[in-house]
Amino acid sequence: MESKASVTDNYNLHFNPKAYLERYYSSVEGYVEEEEGVLPWTLEILHSIFSHEGVSGDRLIDIGTGPCIYSFVSSCTKFKEIVVGEYSEQNRNALKRWVDNEPGSFDWSSIIEHVCQLEGHSEFKERESLLRKTIKDIIPCDVRLANPLIGHASPQKFDCMSSAYCLEVACRSKPEYVKCLKNMAGLLKTGGLFVQLCEPLSFYRLGDWVFEGILLDEAFLKSALEEAGFTQIICRSRKRTSTAGENTYYDFTFVISAMKE
């Protein structure tokens, strides 16, 4: 019998970072059976966003990072420091092991090398080193709180905020989604850039557990951002082409950029 899990019922115990990383990020192609090209598409758009002139600053905050670093490979060249906010202790530990270059930590080299090739060079070892140096802190985070950074009151707001596949699994309703987005927006400076990867889904399966999510459409995603105080919203979407697979259900993947009013 399958068991279900969500952020509110011991996600820390049920989510397996090693199994997740091995399924979705063992190669640049991603998990072909379910994702069919989503990861390279995402990496190319992130490269495009962060190679744009004027996208830079001192501090970037990432919310709901999971055990992943792929979304920083482009942005780490434009910001002096990255702060990671992640709910799960197991995921935070997986990130720390990679930052500390511990034996047995997940190997991100193929994905880092791919991004460097998009930029027109092959200096992926240097990029790997820069990324480790730029990640300054890995701290607990809960988007349901008015200050999502648990016990860490930032002395100043961030120049940029990113988030990958977080709110659609952290929230159980549209009003909660908007509220959590407003909580996150409070961390960002006026005029700051928000980059969101979003894949609204009803569920995904990992091991013996089924993790619940929420299905949302593009119109709602844009209206939620507007209600949370964002403008200049650009929404890029990719329709799922695979009909096979029993480990998840979703229709679109989105990469959204917006500015805080």
Q: How far apart are CA 41 and CA 256, in angstroms?
A: 13
Q: What is the CATH number of the domain that holds 204?
A: 3.40.50.150
User: For the chain, how many structural domains are there in total?
Assistant: 1
pLDDT for 5: 58
- The mean pLDDT value of the chain amounts to 91
Task: Give mean pLDDT, residues 16-44.
Answer: 89
Q: What is the pLDDT of residue 247?
A: 83
Per-residue pLDDT at 32 exceeds 80:
no
Question: What percentage of residues in the chain have a pLDDT greater than 70?
Answer: 93
Mean pLDDT to the nearest integer, 93-115: 97
**Integer Cα distance of 87 and 141 in angstroms:** 5
- Main-chain phi, psi angles of 257, to 5 degrees: -120, 145
Q: What is the pLDDT of residue 54?
A: 75
For residue 45, give its domain range.
3-260
Q: How confident is the model at residue 9 (pLDDT cuts 50, 70, 90)?
A: low
Calculate what percentage of the chain has a pLDDT beyond 90.
77
Closest CA to 45 of 112, 118, 151: 118
For residue 256, is it left (φ>0), alpha (ψ between -120 and 50) or beta?
Answer: beta
Lowest mean pLDDT among 60-74, 181-195, 240-254: 240-254
Q: List strands edge to edge, sheet with 57-63.
A: 135-140, 79-86, 57-63, 158-164, 188-198, 252-260, 230-239
What is the predicted pLDDT for the residue at 1? Answer: 47
Q: Is the pLDDT score of 177 beyond 80? A: yes
Residue 25 confidence (pLDDT) above 70: yes
Within 13 Å of residue 148, how many CA atoms lie on the same side as its CB? 30
Between these two residues, 214 and 1, which has the higher pLDDT value? Answer: 214
The predicted model scores a pTM of 0.93
